[in-house]
């Protein structure tokens, strides 16, 4: 004490006052923030949620100009949009694409329209005829695989190009007559000129250069905004990760519990048998009461572990490891003794100082040891008993109590129930706790191999020692303590297989319904019906609506739909009103049409279209509910599976549940729907 100066005493007093001030501030903080008493998990969740909401609000303001840029475009026709969200997408800025007009020759007029941009040029081999009976009636290119070269060779390409340039070039839409002058006279009388043979023209729709330049400028702003948002999001993730770790350590320091000084030691059956064979004395008594196996095991472990950790602390203090030597983590006196080349007297002085430092070091002491027993079956029965009482199932309760009585009165089962399987060892200091964790690392071969001096590996109950940091008792799932090793691995594998099977079933079902919905949309595309009626007239549209109906119903729908039946039936529905059309079955009205044999018949043209229309609507709505149902089932089953896997702690179980449920539902609602909408045929 005489070596301590007044300056050191003042410094210690200032530190003490600062510590007391920090404790008062912490107390005030707890009073102001009620979340503090609920643990670090809720605090971290609240802080993360607040940060994400704030960043979302800021990034929304940053991306608002991009949304306005999209909305100012004219890429979509508002009349054809089912929802308003399309005008806020990037496609609304306009685009260049290739279009194909495919009409029956009998309709005599080819209508060319660009959804955006102007008509610029014909596609090579993009003018031709698909003769009646061809397997590919909706082809838009002349090639051998489409079996349309023979009829297409009779078309006068130069004459059609001249008409195209005169009537359509540079316009957003046009139409021209399909005239006999367009084909070679040799084609007359063949199936190529059948009224239901398909004449097709494939052409390009391109944006104006000024519009493209404006779009490039707009996209530069959008791209810069997206890059900035991405950088901010990455920084947010890094910030949350870093602050979460710091907050966790800060909270751990400010809220010290027994769990901060406790390690966990698994006691295998062989270790317990070794103890019973070599150390357990059934006749040993204390204060006239026989010592139980657990009590004698506690005393034995206390004695052995204290000696073991004490030797390890001395070893580390004297020698350390290469990593500690680089960091200067072990005693400067021990390092001086190892590296000094001075006289024997100097080394002796250093050893004396080292001994003095070792003598002042706090000894390893164990405060308490608590055991977990092989009683998972008893815990499960007790939980079932509690559930039965809660549900007023008293007969079941008595049945479970009878099972518990039989288990307790059976000596063999009782011996198994009272066998310790794990020890929770609480030290008096964090130095001893840290040393126990470090000792477990040194037991491993690669850690021992890197030590300067051979580490003395002392077995405990004839087995290598492995300490792990213990979690809080309330976080432990005591009924799952027995699930380890191969048992745990088999359960995990089974859960993965069941989850994978559910995803396969979900994949097949969603793909089926989504493909059906897409097929309906492809069959009945959005058409400008007013333009069709203006160009072709009512009688022509009704005639070819009948042709489309006959082809769909009797010939499998080989011919492409040109919008005639769709526009005709939609006009009839508007005239009849929805109530009469659907409820009174006005769509079953029959119309006089000419069939393929040139005979007049009466057919319910709109019945098939209405059925297909309602089926498509039902498919779209059913798919939404199927996804919801599958997500719910997957969530419930995944939770059940992870409960059956048997995680050791509540926090681990909750982490696996949230991660697995998110991954499975993201597969359903994210990846799978994008895969359904993808164009995988390259056309």
Q: What is the DSSP string of 416-474?
A: HHT-EEEEEEEESSHHHHHHHHHHHHHHSHHHHHT-SS------BTTB---EEE---GG
Kindly state whether residues 537 and 433 are assigned to the same domain.
no
Q: 197: Cβ–Cβ under 8 A, 6 or more apart, which residues?
A: 104, 105, 129, 130, 131, 132, 151, 191
Q: Taking residues 515-538, report their average pLDDT.
A: 74
pTM above 0.75, yes or no: no
Kindly state whether residues 538 and 656 are assigned to the same domain.
yes
Kindly state whether residues 5 and 154 are assigned to the same domain.
no
| C-beta neighbour count of 405 within 10 angstroms | 10
Looking at residue 506, its pLDDT comes to 87
Instruction: Tell me if residue 584 falls in helix, strand or coil.
Output: coil
Evaluate whether residue 409 is within a structural domain. no
Looking at residue 68, its pLDDT comes to 85
Evaluate whether residue 444 is within a structural domain. yes
CA distance 48 to 248: 13
Kindly state whether residues 312 and 434 are assigned to the same domain.
yes
Overall number of domains in the chain:
5
Evaluate whether residue 423 is within a structural domain. yes
Domain endpoint, select from 221, 256, 291 = 256
Kindly state whether residues 467 and 560 are assigned to the same domain.
no
Looking at residue 275, its pLDDT comes to 87
Evaluate whether residue 191 is within a structural domain. yes
CA distance 293 to 305: 18
Evaluate whether residue 24 is within a structural domain. yes
Kindly state whether residues 234 and 216 are assigned to the same domain.
yes
Instruction: Tell me if residue 366 falls in helix, strand or coil.
Output: strand
Kindly state whether residues 191 and 216 are assigned to the same domain.
no
In this structure, are residues 96 and 204 in contact, taking their beta carbons and an 8 Å threshold?
yes
Q: What is the pLDDT of residues 103-128, one digit of tens each?
A: 777 777 778 888 778 888 888 888 88
State how far Cα 588 lies from the chain centre. Answer: 48
Looking at residue 614, its pLDDT comes to 78
Evaluate whether residue 399 is within a structural domain. no
Residue of 501, 499, 509 whose CA lies nearest to 639: 499
Kindly state whether residues 592 and 635 are assigned to the same domain.
yes
Evaluate whether residue 290 is within a structural domain. yes
Kindly state whether residues 73 and 174 are assigned to the same domain.
no
Evaluate whether residue 526 is within a structural domain. yes
More confident site: 84 or 359: 84
**pLDDT band, residue 83 (cuts 50/70/90):** low
**pLDDT band, residue 327 (cuts 50/70/90):** very low
Kindly state whether residues 611 and 662 are assigned to the same domain.
yes
Give per-residue burial for 457-485: e unless 16+ CB within 10 Å, then b.
Answer: ebebbeeebebeebbeeeebbebbbebee
Show the domain range for 219: 33-94+212-256
Kindly state whether residues 82 and 147 are assigned to the same domain.
no
Kindly state whether residues 466 and 596 are assigned to the same domain.
no
Does residue 242 carry a pLDDT above 50? yes
Q: 658: Cβ–Cβ under 8 A, 6 or more apart, which residues?
A: none
Does residue 24 carry a pLDDT above 70? no
| Residue 97, both tokens | 């694409």
Residues in the chain: 683
| C-beta neighbour count of 370 within 10 angstroms | 16
Looking up residue 159, the CATH number of its domain turns out to be 2.60.120.740
Does residue 5 carry a pLDDT above 70? no
């Amino acid at each position: 004490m005489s070596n301590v100066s007044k300056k050191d005493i003042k410094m210690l007093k200032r530190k003490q006052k600062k510590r007391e001030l920090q404790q008062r501030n912490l107390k005030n903080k707890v009073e102001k923030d009620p979340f503090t008493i609920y643990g670090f998990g809720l605090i971290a969740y609240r802080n993360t949620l607040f940060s994400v909401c704030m960043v979302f609000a800021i990034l929304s303001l940053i991306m608002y100009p991009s949304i306005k840029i999209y909305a100012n475009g004219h890429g979509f026709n508002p009349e054809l949009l089912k929802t308003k969200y399309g005008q806020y997408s990037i496609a609304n800025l306009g685009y260049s694409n290739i279009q194909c007009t495919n009409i029956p020759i009998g309709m005599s007029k080819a209508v060319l329209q660009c959804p955006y941009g102007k008509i610029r040029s014909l596609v090579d081999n993009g003018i031709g005829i698909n003769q009646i009976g061809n397997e590919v009636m909706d082809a838009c290119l002349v090639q051998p695989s489409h079996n349309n070269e023979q009829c297409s060779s009779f078309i006068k390409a130069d004459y059609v190009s001249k008409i195209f340039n005169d009537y359509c070039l540079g316009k957003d839409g046009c139409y021209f007559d399909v005239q006999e002058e367009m084909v070679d006279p040799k084609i007359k009388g063949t199936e190529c000129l059948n009224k239901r043979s398909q004449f097709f023209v494939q052409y390009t729709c391109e944006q104006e250069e000024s519009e493209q330049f404006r779009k490039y400028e707009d996209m530069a702003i959008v791209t810069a905004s997206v890059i900035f948002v991405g950088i901010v999001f990455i920084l947010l993730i890094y910030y949350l990760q870093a602050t979460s770790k710091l907050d966790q350590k800060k909270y751990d320091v400010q809220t010290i519990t027994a769990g901060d000084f406790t390690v966990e030691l698994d006691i295998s059956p062989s270790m317990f048998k070794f103890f019973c064979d070599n150390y357990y004395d059934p006749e040993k008594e204390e204060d006239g009461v026989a010592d139980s196996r657990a009590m004698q095991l506690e005393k034995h472990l206390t004695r052995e572990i204290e000696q073991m950790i004490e030797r390890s602390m001395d070893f580390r203090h004297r020698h350390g490891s290469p990593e500690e030597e680089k960091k200067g983590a072990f005693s400067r006196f021990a390092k001086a003794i190892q590296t000094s080349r001075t006289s024997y007297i100097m080394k002796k002085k250093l050893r004396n100082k080292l001994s003095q430092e070792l003598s002042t070091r706090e000894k390893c002491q164990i405060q308490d040891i608590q055991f977990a027993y092989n009683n998972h079956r008893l815990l499960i029965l007790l939980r079932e008993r509690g559930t039965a009482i809660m549900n007023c199932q008293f007969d079941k309760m008595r049945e479970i109590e009878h099972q518990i009585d039989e288990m307790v009165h059976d000596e063999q089962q009782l011996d198994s129930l009272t066998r310790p399987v794990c020890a929770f060892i609480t030290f008096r200091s964090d130095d001893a706790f840290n040393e126990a964790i470090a000792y477990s690392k040194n037991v491993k071969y690669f850690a021992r191999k890197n030590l300067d001096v051979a580490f003395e590996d002392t077995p405990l109950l004839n087995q290598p020692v492995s300490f792990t940091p213990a979690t809080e008792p309330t976080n432990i799932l005591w009924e799952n303590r027995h699930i380890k090793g191969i048992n745990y691995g088999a359960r995990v594998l089974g859960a993965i297989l069941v989850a994978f099977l559910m995803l396969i079933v979900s994949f097949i079902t969603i793909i089926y319904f989504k493909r059906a919905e897409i097929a309906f949309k492809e069959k009945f595309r959005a058409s400008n019906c007013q333009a069709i009626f203006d160009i072709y007239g009512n009688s022509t549209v009704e005639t070819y609506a009948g042709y489309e109906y006959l082809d769909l119903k009797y010939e499998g729908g080989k011919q492409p739909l040109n919008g005639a039946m769709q526009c005709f039936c939609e006009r009839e529905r508007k005239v009849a009103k929805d109530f009469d059309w659907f409820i009174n079955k006005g769509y079953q009205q029959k119309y006089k049409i000419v069939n393929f044999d040139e005979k007049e018949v009466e057919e319910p043209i709109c019945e098939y279209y209405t059925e297909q229309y309602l089926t498509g609507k039902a498919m779209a709505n059913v798919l939404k509910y199927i996804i919801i149902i599958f997500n719910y089932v997957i969530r419930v089953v995944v939770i059940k599976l992870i409960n059956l896997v048997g995680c050791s702690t509540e926090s681990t179980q909750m982490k696996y549940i949230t991660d697995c449920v998110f991954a499975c539902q993201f597969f359903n609602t994210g990846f799978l729907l994008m895969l359904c909408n993808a164009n995988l045929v390259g056309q």
